[in-house]
């Protein structure tokens, strides 16, 4: 029999969250971001769940080709663009859009013998300081691209650093929008501005933010970049990591649990052992306040997370026994809440799901 640990992917929730993103910015076209194996949900599942998207965006050129092999006929965008001359040939051959953020990429396109037209998304660095041309250099880069015969449409894009906090003390969306407007002044092309944070706060930015394309990522998978909870934004969980109790220990005051004996009981306790550990993608550094659901009831971790197991407090759940279901995150337990308690973000938990975890598909069911 297989180990009881499973990750169930809720395609219906993924489709719901895409529709929610569209509703936030009426009229805008939507790239559904499926990088990192669709945030750990599976590239092919992402393609099916986001069938209503106007295009799929990702980082990996090989996975862009895989999407074409799987039958995706709508646009595909490489968010980091091309890496070498072979990628340039691929763009035209397979109708793949490319972000351009360095002069080196423009040179690759100038030197390539492209077999057909390609569409480019020219990226401006408006303060994120990762990728993109400065506002002052943006028009020059645009002109170089416009001079390449094979380049058809040029979309103008940037990326918000602090979209989860509209009035960030160091860099606001308003400041980034002003820099973008300055650098893009007089340049023709659609605008691509909003990541999940920009999408979710679109109403609050009324009059300041106009975008033709949105690029939702984490919100499609039931997480948020910050601010309100996923539920408050109308988002649904898309991955439920669930297991079972595989053993129970009755301990007394003064007894310790787990490696390092870090947790010491201050009273008599029932401890449940759950088939899930850091080799499955559960965060090893998760502390004793990290929540879990046992038979739909809330409890917390005790002791260190080990490679294949973790331990939970069953003292207030007297009916729990070997075989009792446990939800680590997902249905009934927001992944962002678990991540916050473990000192990380939901993105990391999704993407860290280990290959040995059985992945299923099924509708969202509430467990508490």
User: Is 74 annotated as catalytic?
Assistant: no
CB-based contacts of 107, cutoff 8 Å, min separation 6: none
User: Is 35 annotated as catalytic?
Assistant: yes
Cα–Cα distance, 61 to 162 (Å, whole number): 28
Cα–Cα distance, 171 to 162 (Å, whole number): 7
Catalytic residue chosen out of the listed positions 35, 221, 282, 347: 35
Interhelix angle 85-94/103-111, nearest 10 degrees: 70
Residue 316's φ and ψ, nearest 5 degrees, are -95, 10
Q: How far is CA 293 from CA 57, 229, 346, in A?
A: 34, 18, 17
Helix (H) or strand (E) holding 111: helix 103-111
Helix (H) or strand (E) holding 296: none
Q: Which residue, 52, 117, 74, 98, is CA-closest to 192?
A: 98
Catalytic residue chosen out of the listed positions 228, 259, 278, 282: 259
Cα–Cα distance, 183 to 177 (Å, whole number): 10
Q: Which residue, 368, 5, 6, 8, is CA-closest to 222?
A: 8
Catalytic residues: 35, 259
């Amino acid at each position: 029999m297989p180990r009881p640990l499973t990750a169930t992917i809720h395609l219906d929730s993924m489709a719901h969250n895409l529709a929610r993103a569209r509703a936030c910015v009426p009229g805008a076209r939507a790239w559904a971001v499926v990088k990192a194996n669709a945030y750990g949900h599976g590239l092919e599942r992402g393609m099916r769940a986001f069938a209503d998207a106007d295009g799929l965006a990702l980082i990996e050129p090989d996975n862009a080709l895989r999407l074409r092999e799987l039958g995706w006929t709508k646009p595909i965008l490489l968010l980091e663009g091309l890496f070498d001359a072979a990628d340039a040939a691929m763009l035209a051959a397979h109708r793949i859009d490319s972000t351009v953020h360095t002069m080196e990429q423009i040179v690759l396109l100038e030197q390539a013998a492209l077999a057909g037209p390609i569409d480019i998304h020219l990226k401006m660095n408006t303060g994120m300081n990762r990728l993109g041309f400065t506002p002052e250099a943006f028009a020059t880069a645009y002109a170089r691209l416009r001079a390449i015969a094979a380049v058809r449409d040029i979309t103008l894009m940037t990326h918000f650093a602090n979209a989860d906090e509209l009035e960030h003390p160091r860099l606001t969306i308003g400041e980034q929008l002003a820099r973008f407007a300055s650098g893009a002044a007089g340049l023709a092309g659609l605008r691509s501005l909003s990541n999940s944070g920009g999408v979710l706060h679109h109403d609050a930015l009324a009059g300041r933010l106009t975008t033709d394309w949105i690029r939702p990522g984490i919100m499609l998978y039931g997480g948020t970049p910050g601010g309100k909870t996923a539920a408050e934004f109308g988002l649904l969980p898309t991955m439920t990591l669930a297991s079972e109790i595989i053993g129970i220990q009755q301990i007394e005051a003064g007894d310790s649990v787990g490696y390092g004996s870090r947790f010491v009981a201050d009273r008599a306790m029932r401890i449940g052992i759950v088939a899930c550990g850091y080799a499955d993608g559960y965060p090893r550094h998760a502390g004793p306040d990290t929540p879990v659901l046992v038979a739909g009831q809330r409890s917390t971790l005790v002791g260190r997370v080990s490679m294949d197991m973790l331990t939970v407090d069953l003292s207030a759940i007297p009916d729990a026994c070997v075989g009792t279901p446990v939800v680590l995150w997902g249905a009934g337990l927001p992944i962002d809440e678990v991540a916050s308690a473990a000192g990380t973000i939901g993105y990391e938990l999704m993407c860290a799901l280990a290959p040995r975890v059985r992945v299923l598909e099924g509708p969202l069911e509430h467990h508490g």
